Chain A
Amino acid sequence: MSTTRHHTHIDLERLTGIHERRVSVGEDDSYSLATTAAVDALHRAQRQAASLDAVISCSITKLRDGLTQQMEPTMSSAVAHAIGADQAMTFDLSNACAGMLTGVTVANNWIRQGSMQRVLVVSGEYISQLGHNAARHIRNIMSKELASLTLGDAGAALLLERAPTGSEGIKFAGFTTVADYSRLCLAYPKGHEPAARMFTDARGIHRAAMANTPLLLHEVLDTVGISLHDIDHVITHQTSARAIRKGMAKMSSYFGESPRHDAVITVDRYGNTASTTHTVALIEELESRHIRPGETVALIALASGLEIGIVLLTLDEELVERYGHSD
């Protein structure tokens, strides 16, 4: 809270569990973050950009050359060109903080059907400016811009490809939009400040997410034929450590059982990096050697809309080892 203009008496660290965030001081923007992540994903997977069938950019922010939001052409076409994927279908997808997992859901359909072999889902979020803007306006804990202070910058990329039947991979990807809550979190350019400002009814969103996620997860688990205890790792959208712990406690009481491990929390070190949070957390877990080959990971998207999405996946040995795990 050291940057707020008004003296607010808010202990944001205690409220959100965030000790540190990573913010670009101008050296990076949405485009450079996305491009760097895309290059890294291809390099680690040892795949050529020319082999990509599609590049989907899923960020909320499309800031390029500083704090200018690029509406057209698409960010995906710029990223695809920068990495040498000029043959790929390109388009941008926008679904608030559920953007990347929405991209995964779209790509999953195409890859399963065999209409595409390899898709890059990418996002560059240079979103910390919204926090700088909010800091000038927040006066107390009731401010609708409080959530903006938790935002951090990150680029992320997920390379999805078709694998033989029976391989580890995405077991389920699906979403529901509970649109009665579509106006609980709005971000748009306003006034004299660069980029945008974000106005969130954080309590309202949290309440709606808590009320609806268990039932939707229950449906997914029934469809796949597993129970909550069969899930090894849960990675939710990273808003605050308190909200994640409360949400998981509610989930455990609803199901009468828990996933094998506590929910992953990375918001304490990275902040809320918008559409990239699940990927940031997944890589962090892999690098920390917490995820083993064959374990089931549940990625749960909770985003403005209200978007509730669930992606269930298992990772194979090759991918786990690539990020440092050795059994």
Chain B
Amino acid sequence: MGTVIEQVSLTDGGWRTHHSALRLAVNAAKHCLHEAGRNAHDVDLLINAGIYRDRNLAEPALAAMIQEDIGANPEDPHEQAHGTFSFDVSNGSCGVLTALQIVDGFLKSRAIDLALVVASDADPGHGMSEDFPFSPAGAALLCDWFDDARGVERIHWINIPDEGESFSATVGLLDGRNVLRFAESEKADELFAAAAAQAAEACLHASALTLDDIDAIVAAPAHSGFRAALSAHMGFSETQIIVAEDQRTHTASLAAAFDRASAQIRPGGRVLLVAAGTGITAGAALYRMPDGTASRQR
């Protein structure tokens, strides 16, 4: 019984989108709905977990603009029609996992039938950033609920507070201009992997499972250093840790890794979703692939 990821779509930056997280998210969302054969009006809940966006926008939630641009019940409410609820969450590479936990709460209570999670990041450009470290990338995940054994199980979280020493991003005045800047520790991958391993172990322990019971770890971020360190911490083969193809993908990285995994893992297989990011915060959850639908052609 749980939240099932019905469809995943990914976008990367073209000449029209590489400075627009909004366009990346909208493109991913439209593609995701089209591939799933769903209408935008079917979406009851839209959560955006992306962080770096056009103009470093603070208000409104980017999710509201995405909702308008994909045409998910944007018009004035009227009788005999349902609306869509949109908002943003922010939790770095853990944002998509966080959104899945929120979606799970709404689906489980039957407040909604269908949710769309999007995550995208792009360099706002135009002098508004300095040494932007991430690739322009977007992802969308369409989620619904099944009463059988499929889907996301309980998510376990671990905090190892470091006051942002591993990674931080700020927008502040620099030479009279508002600039988005980043600071990253060389040890970030190792610190994130240690936190991710703790969350993964807590998750397996709570379910009375071992690594032998899972087919793969689906992990974020996608850095090779993180993947290697996670492998070492957990004693799990690096080849079975699936990450996004583009190492510089940020909030979309867990979705991108899941997309790769769904093409590789047998129907009904069990994976461990693991994400870690600055804070330091890490989360882990077991996910049972749907029978017969996991290998859906895209």
Chain B residues with CB under 8 Å of A77's CB are 159, 161, 279, 281
Inter-chain contact B65/A183, CB cutoff 8 Å: yes
Inter-chain contact B64/A182, CB cutoff 8 Å: yes
Q: How far, in Å, is B125 (CB) from chain A's closest CB?
A: 14
Inter-chain contact A69/B172, CB cutoff 8 Å: yes
Inter-chain contact B58/A69, CB cutoff 8 Å: yes
Inter-chain contact B77/A71, CB cutoff 8 Å: no
Chain A residues with CB under 8 Å of B258's CB are none
Inter-chain contact B161/A112, CB cutoff 8 Å: no
A305 to B101, CA, bound (A): 23
Inter-chain contact A73/B83, CB cutoff 8 Å: no
Judged by a CB distance under 8 angstroms, whether A283 is at the interface is no
Judged by a CB distance under 8 angstroms, whether A74 is at the interface is yes
Query: Assuming the A-B contacts A185-B60, A189-B178, A304-B59, are A70 and B77 also in contact, with contact meaning beta carbons closer than 8 angstroms in the complex?
Result: no
Inter-chain contact B102/A96, CB cutoff 8 Å: no
A67 to B173, CA, bound (A): 8
Chain A residues with CB under 8 Å of B279's CB are 73-74, 77, 90
Judged by a CB distance under 8 angstroms, whether B176 is at the interface is yes
Inter-chain contact A86/B77, CB cutoff 8 Å: no
Inter-chain contact B109/A180, CB cutoff 8 Å: no
Inter-chain contact B92/A115, CB cutoff 8 Å: no
Judged by a CB distance under 8 angstroms, whether B213 is at the interface is no
Is chain B's interface secondary structure helix, strand, loop, or mixed overall?
Answer: mixed
Judged by a CB distance under 8 angstroms, whether B295 is at the interface is no
Judged by a CB distance under 8 angstroms, whether A135 is at the interface is no
Chain B residues with CB under 8 Å of A188's CB are 55-59
Inter-chain contact B87/A95, CB cutoff 8 Å: yes
Inter-chain contact B85/A88, CB cutoff 8 Å: no
A186 to B57, CA, bound (A): 8
Chain B residues with CB under 8 Å of A61's CB are 58
Write the chain B residue with the least CB distance to A82: B161
A71 to B129, CA, bound (A): 13
Inter-chain contact A305/B105, CB cutoff 8 Å: no
Task: Indicate which residue in B92, B102, B108, B173 contacts A106 across the interface (CB closer than 8 Å).
Answer: B102
Inter-chain contact B108/A182, CB cutoff 8 Å: no
A115 to B79, CA, bound (A): 33
Judged by a CB distance under 8 angstroms, whether A23 is at the interface is no
Residue among A93, A189, A192, A193 with the highest chain B CB neighbour number at 10 A: A189
A189 to B76, CA, bound (A): 30
Judged by a CB distance under 8 angstroms, whether A91 is at the interface is yes
A250 to B49, CA, bound (A): 36
**In the complex, chain B residues 152-202 whose Cβ is within 8 Å of any chain A Cβ:** 154-155, 157, 159, 161, 163-164, 167-173, 176-178, 180
A94 to B283, CA, bound (A): 20
Judged by a CB distance under 8 angstroms, whether A179 is at the interface is yes
Inter-chain contact A71/B172, CB cutoff 8 Å: no
Chain B residues with CB under 8 Å of A216's CB are 77
Inter-chain contact A179/B72, CB cutoff 8 Å: yes
Judged by a CB distance under 8 angstroms, whether B267 is at the interface is no
Inter-chain contact B59/A185, CB cutoff 8 Å: yes
A211 to B76, CA, bound (A): 8
Inter-chain contact B109/A113, CB cutoff 8 Å: yes
Residue among B55, B77, B176 with the highest chain A CB neighbour number at 10 A: B77
Stretch at the interface among A14-22, A170-178, A262-270: A170-178
Inter-chain contact A179/B172, CB cutoff 8 Å: no
**In the complex, chain B residues 262-289 whose Cβ is within 8 Å of any chain A Cβ:** 277-281, 283
Q: Mark A297-317, 1 if CB is under 8 A from B, else 0.
A: 000000111110000000000
Judged by a CB distance under 8 angstroms, whether B74 is at the interface is yes
Inter-chain contact A180/B278, CB cutoff 8 Å: no
Write the chain A residue with the least CB distance to B167: A72
Inter-chain contact B52/A178, CB cutoff 8 Å: no
Inter-chain contact A73/B75, CB cutoff 8 Å: no
A215 to B81, CA, bound (A): 12
Judged by a CB distance under 8 angstroms, whether A145 is at the interface is no
29 contacts between A and B (CB under 8 A): A69-B172, A70-B169, A71-B52, A72-B277, A73-B92, A73-B281, A77-B159, A77-B279, A91-B98, A92-B89, A94-B87, A94-B88, A96-B59, A96-B60, A96-B61, A109-B105, A109-B111, A177-B64, A177-B84, A178-B77, A179-B73, A182-B65, A182-B67, A185-B59, A193-B178, A194-B178, A198-B59, A305-B64, A307-B60
Write the residues of chain A forming the contact surface with B, with a CB cutoff of 8 angstroms: 60-61, 67-74, 77-78, 80-81, 86-96, 98, 102, 106, 109-110, 112-113, 115, 174-180, 182-183, 185-194, 196, 198, 208, 211-212, 215-216, 303-307
Assuming A73-B278, A192-B173, what are 12 further A-B pairs, CB within 8 angstroms?
A69-B171, A72-B90, A73-B277, A93-B87, A94-B87, A95-B87, A96-B60, A98-B87, A174-B85, A177-B46, A179-B65, A212-B77
